[in-house]
Amino acid sequence: MRNTACLLSLLLCAVLLGTSLAAHADSYEAALPPELSSAKRLCDYAPCTEVLPGATRFSERMGAPPYVEGYRGDGASARLVGYVMLSTDITDTPAYSGKPVVTLIGMDTAGRFTGVRILKHSEPILLLGIPESALIDFNRQYIGKFVGDNIEIGTSRPDEGVIGLDAITGATVTVVAQNQVMMTSGTAVAQQVGILEATPRPQARFADPAGTPDWDGLVADGAVQRLLVRRRAVGLEDDGEPFIELWFGALDHPRIGRAILGEHGYRSLHRQLGETDHAIFVIRSGGAESFKGSGFVRGGIFDRVQVRQGRDTFTFRDLDYQNLYDLKAAGAPAYRESAIFIIRGKGIFSNAYPWRLVFLGNRVDRATGERTFANFDREYWLPEAYLEGGRPVVERPDPTWLKIWKERAPAILGFVALLLATAAVYASRDRLVRRSTHKNKWPVNGFKYAIWVLSIGFVGFGLLAQPSITQVLTWFHSLLFQWQWELFLSDPFIFLFWVFIIVTVFVWGRGLFCGWLCPFGSLSELLFKLGRALGLKHLQRTPPKALHDRLKWLKYWIFFGLLAVSMIDMGLAEKLAEVEPFKTTFLIGLFERSWPYALFAASLLGLSIFVERPFCKYLCPLGAALAMPTTFRWFGLRRKQECDSCKACAKGCGSLAIDRDGRIDPRECLLCMDCMVLYYDDHGCPPLAQERRRRTRDGCDLTPIGADGYYIPIRPVPADGSRR
Amino acid sequence: MVDPRMPSDPVVPSYAEGGSLARRLAAELWDHLWPWSRDGFRRHKALQAAGMALGLAASTMWVIAALGHLAAGAVIGAWFGWSVFEVLVRLGAKPYVKEGPWWGRRYRRAGPMDMLCYVGFKNLLIGASLFLLLKAAGMVVV
Ligand code: SF4
Ligand code: SF4
């Protein structure tokens, strides 16, 4: 029969796959021409006219980072109408899938966005859950907005100068990443073409502590920094050598300049620097890759290194380059390539503030061979002692995930309170079940029903925080391939829920989550209870135990199947994970979703009125994944010896988790507490009721019931009063 | 008579009774790492021998990986294959799992699913730690 379960799961997967593939998706993992990221004529390979309406002719890629100019008309009458940029030329910000959303962006000469077009994305949620049109609608919000505005996801805050954009419900991470891509790309181009004026920064006043440090001293001070890129970071096989190892530092600071160039060299450099110029040195001590680039041409731009400070980017042309022949600092590493770059700061760059040296490279996808733009950077900030008055106070913007946590603080507090309250209620189960009887379970159920209602309304529909098997698969992958805390932290509710789930599964088993807090599970059982309350009891059925014992394996097969598929193709696994009706129920809504999914979810919910939690019992891969570690939960439920022959609890167990020997299968038990109520109920538990009757008949006291589920024995006190 | 207080019949591995804490912990660690038992050997010689061979192969795989000659897929595949075999070996040689808190001394007979959960979880932890270690050392490529 396990084979039947296996077959059924395969069938289910096939049906789901069929419907999934039928789902329409334009740019999901679209194959893009390789020239798109490398050809000079970008617009020969990208629909530039769509994002810059009115332009009839486009230039070649220009600038660093690159963009193209769009003109209307030809020859002398040609008029510049705006700029087009490819997001992956400028930033490699990953979205939820860990891969960037390749976006073509148009901007007019006044710095207003004129069009946005997604060329390729790998976001599973947009493939299956949320229609791609949602992202198109989201992007439409940028049109007409000025690149220099403070645009954020969320509500507008005019007093703080923040323009808010409506997020896509259920795809927060994707849109937060997309906003970052839009703003970074737009700003990078707007600054190059002079639309955005950079704000000047107060210039550094150098302190010059006595003595000339050697190389190790400079490194220890933080006056020289290392930027290391490993081969695997760019998709190459590791061979022990780094892809590139660079050391760099500010050279216009006298202490560093003298240590690196010697007194004479420093003076000569200093003489050449203009008033607003700054110099840095870079050496390559490891790796075969050149940081100057092999394709460097006279008059051109060094396209592999740049300096960024805040939103400002500083690139280097041939005139900004000088040879660095010799490093005077004792103990400096051997190097294969060296350079002095002059930053034409124009008062915008300042050594008093942190800046980053950026190495621009390509990452090769090992599976597809596709190259994508990737940059690697390292922060540099002159040490406190090197600046007169020390480092100025710098307000760094919060990372995106922190912004989300701050914005949603009240809801997060409410959610945490719910989790803690549920754990507290369950931890007090002994007291609650003792107060209940098989006829009145309200002391337990009152709490449970309230938690169900909150989990459905607040957690499920409100916060969209329904945990899913896809998260387990994503973690599994991240653990093996690339762990990104950012990614997990960006959804605070799911993150906190998982912390709670992991802890409680090991302490009590999956039942606390599944039986009390899972939004879908709660909805499912609530429908069953409602059905009963509305007089449908005569239509409600419990599957025969023998059949249940065979069918329950189905969910494990589904889980294993998904895990195996995810190893080969994560995208496919995400599609197959549609076996969970969670997205349809909570994220998108039954009436918003295409009919095969809506029908599937509605059928399961409909069936739940007549059979208790059919999805949880037989199909839920998440339930299966959580059931497995439940084997090792620390604290199980109480039983007494007579449970082996008494069937009272087993009959009442809606999860069919009690076998004919009275043993509880912890993997199937949803901790409903019904059997625990009976355990202490001297009118409901047959052996206890028998003892009660015996004691009453014999005129003995009814002592309190102990933890073992029996009356505390009455021990006769010896006549002499001594204790035994 | 069945004891319904345990999900399956209680079992007492020899090391679980008596002995100092250090001894018991060492024995338990050995139990997690070494799936075979003398008793199991007597009963299923061929299976145990094949298991030993596979165990050796799995260990060698980690060594090769440590030498930097294996790709991630191969490591994961081999470890998964070994884990399936370990379930079979343990069901013959050490067919028990712990019941209740990890610091306790209660053991019970393991059914195939119990064993699968145990080996799956244990090997996930071992595999993930070794894998991350090798990855951090740059010895395995993903
Ligand atoms: S089995 Fe699945 S749907 Fe049911 S309660 Fe558990 S996680 Fe939720
Ligand atoms: S009746 Fe007992 S065994 Fe059954 S689900 Fe409820 S708590 Fe678990």
pLDDT higher than threshold 70 for residue A366: no
Exposed / middle / buried, residue A564 (Cβ in 10 Å: 0-12, 13-18, 19+): exposed
Angle at B97 between CA B94 and CA B98, to 5 degrees: 135
The residue of B102, B117, B131 whose CB has the most chain A CBs within 10 angstroms, and thus the best one to mutate to test that interface, is: B117
For residue A296, how many other CB atoms are within 10 A of its CB? 15
Residue A342 Cα, ligand 2 centroid: separation in angstroms? 73
Tally of structural domains, chain B? 1
From the list B7, B120, B128, the residue facing A665 with the nearest CB is: B7
* A687: preceding bond cis by omega (within 30 degrees): no
Say which residue, A122 or A502, is predicted with more confidence. Answer: A502
User: Whose CA is closest to atom 7 on ligand 1?
Assistant: A623
Residue A19 pLDDT more than 60?
A: no
- Per-residue CA distances from A597 to A216, A590, A594, A602, A665 (Å): 63, 8, 6, 8, 32
**How many residue contacts between A and B have a Cβ separation below 8 Å?**
77
- Selection from A146-160, A438-452, A486-500, B85-99 with the highest mean pLDDT: A438-452
Which ligand minimizes its atom distance to the CA of A664? 2
Taking only the tens place, the pLDDT of each residue in A686-698 is: 999 999 999 999 9
CB atoms B132 and A662 under 8 Å: no
Whether B103 and chain A come into contact, CB under 8 Å, resolves to no
Mean pLDDT across chain A: 87
Task: For chain B, report the end-to-end CA distance as a whole number of angstroms.
Answer: 53
Window from A234-238, A306-310, A321-325, A665-669 with minimum mean pLDDT: A234-238
Reported ipTM: 0.86
Give the pLDDT score at A502. Answer: 96
pLDDT bracket for residue A368 (50, 70, 90): low
Distance from CA of B122 to the nearest CA of A (A): 10
Pick the range with the lowest mean pLDDT from A241-255, A535-549, B83-97: B83-97
Decide if B59 is inside a domain: yes
- For B41-58, what is the mean pLDDT? 70
CA angle B66–B68–B70, rounded 5-degree value = 95
The contact set of A with B (CB < 8 A) is 230, 232, 237-238, 240, 479-482, 556, 567, 628-629, 631-632, 634-636, 638-641, 643-644, 661-667
Nearest residue, CB atoms, B141 vs list A238, A567, A639: A238
Closest ligand 2 atom to residue A652 Cα is 1
pLDDT tier for residue B45 given thresholds of 50, 70 and 90: low
Q: Is the predicted pLDDT of residue A478 greater than 80, yes or no?
A: no
- List, for residues A423-432, the tens digit of each pLDDT value: 999 999 999 9
The percentage of chain A sitting over the pLDDT mark of 70, rounded to a whole number, equals 91
pLDDT band at residue A556 under the 50/70/90 scheme: very high
Q: Answer yes or no: is pLDDT of A643 > 70.
A: yes
pLDDT tens digits, A403-427: 889 888 999 999 999 999 999 999 9
Q: Tell me the CA–centroid distance for residue A624 and ligand 1, in Å.
A: 9
Whether the pLDDT of residue A45 is over 90: the answer is: yes
Q: Which atom of ligand 1 is nearest to the CA of A621?
A: 2
Q: Do A232 and B142 touch (CB under 8 A)?
A: yes
Quick one: pLDDT band at residue B79, thresholds 50, 70, 90?
confident
Q: Chain A: nearest CA to B98, how far in angstroms?
A: 7
Reported as half-sphere exposure (CB side, CA atoms, 13 A), residue A480 has a value of: 19
Tell me whether strands A162-165 and A150-153 are parallel, antiparallel or unpaired. parallel
Interface test with B, best of A565, A631, A646 (most B CBs within 10 A): A631
* Ligand 1 atom closest to the CA of A620, numbered from 1: 2
Is residue B24 included in any domain, yes or no? yes
Residue with CA nearest ligand 2 atom 2: A675
User: Candidates A448, A646, A669, A676: which one to mutate for ligand 2, based on the most atoms within 8 Å of Cβ?
Assistant: A669
Q: Closest ligand 2 atom to the C-alpha of A664?
A: 3
A640 and B5: CB-CB below 8 Å?
yes
Residue B1 lies in a domain: no
Q: pTM for this one?
A: 0.77
Q: Phi first, then psi: what are they for B136, rounded to 5°?
A: -65, -35
Strands B96-98 and B10-11: unpaired
- The DSSP code sequence of A245-293 is EEEEEESSSHHHHHHHHHHHHHHHHHHHS-TTEEEEEEEEEE-S--SS-
Q: Looking at beta carbons, which residues of chain A come within 8 Å of B8? A: 663
Residue B19 lies in a domain: yes
How many angstroms separate the CA of residue B97 from the nearest CA in chain A?
A: 9
- pLDDT exceeds 60 at position A318: yes
pLDDT for res B54: 78
Q: Is the CB of A650 under 6 A from ligand 2?
A: no
A270: left (phi over 0), alpha (psi -120 to 50) or beta: alpha
- Residues ≥6 apart with Cβ < 8 Å to A341: A279, A280, A281, A282, A302, A305, A307, A316, A320, A321, A322
Confidence of residue A107 (pLDDT cuts 50, 70, 90): very high
Integer Cα distance of A604 and A616 in angstroms = 10
Of B140 and A28, the structure prediction assigns the larger pLDDT to: A28
Structure tokens given for B76: 């994961």
Maximum average pLDDT range among A344-348, A557-561, B100-104 = A557-561
Residue B85's pLDDT is 85
CB atoms within 10 A of CB A155: 10
Closest residue (by CA) to atom 1 of ligand 2?
Answer: A653
Work out the minimum CA distance from A627 to partner chain B, whole angstroms.
9
Mean per-residue pLDDT, A162-177? 75
Q: Determine which of A476, A632, A638, A667 to mutate to test the interface with B (most B C-beta atoms within 10 Å).
A: A632
Give residue A76's pLDDT. 80
Cα–Cα distance measured from residue A425 to residue A562, given in angstroms and rounded to the nearest whole number: 34
Ligand 2 atom index nearest CA of A655: 5
Res A11: pLDDT: 43
Å from CA of B15 to ligand 2 middle: 33
Residues of A in contact with B120 (CB under 8 A): 628
Ligand nearest to the CA of A445: 2
Q: Could you tell me the distance, in angstroms and rounded to a whole number, from the CA of residue A504 to the centre of ligand 1?
A: 15
Mutate to test the interface with B, among A480, A678, A708 (most CBs of B within 10 A): A480
Structural domain range at position B116: 12-136
pLDDT digits (tens, 9 = 90+) for A52-65: 999 999 999 998 78
- Ligand 1 binding site (Cβ under 6 Å of any ligand atom): A 514, 518, 520-521, 615-616, 620, 622-623
Average pLDDT over residues A217-225: 95
How far is residue B66 from each of residues B80, B129, B133, B139, measured CA to CA in Å? 18, 13, 9, 6
pLDDT tier at A652 (50, 70, 90 boundaries)? very high
Q: Are the C-beta atoms of A574 and A127 separated by less than 8 Å?
A: yes
**The ligand 1 atom nearest the CA atom of A515:** 5
Whether B113 is covered by a domain: the verdict is: yes
Pocket test for ligand 1, best of A470, A501, A513, A520 (most atoms within 8 A of CB): A520
- A67 DSSP β-pair partners: A62
pLDDT at A510 over 90: yes
pLDDT band at residue A365 under the 50/70/90 scheme: low
**Using CA atoms, how far apart are residues A186 and A149, in angstroms rounded to an integer?**
11
What is the nearest CA distance from B19 to chain A, expressed in angstroms? 23
Closest-CA distance of chain B to residue A396, Å = 29
pLDDT at A495: 93
Residue A359, pLDDT > 60, answer: yes
Q: How many CA atoms lie within 13 A of A578 on its CB side?
A: 31
Task: Domain ranges for chain A, please list them.
Answer: 31-192, 215-391, 402-677, 682-724
CB A91 within 8 A of CB A99: no
Quick one: which ligand is closest to A459's CA?
Answer: 1
User: Taking 90 as the threshold, does the pLDDT of residue B16 lie above it?
Assistant: no
Q: A671 CB under 6 A from ligand 2?
A: yes
Q: How far apart are CA A40 and CA A57, in angstroms?
A: 14
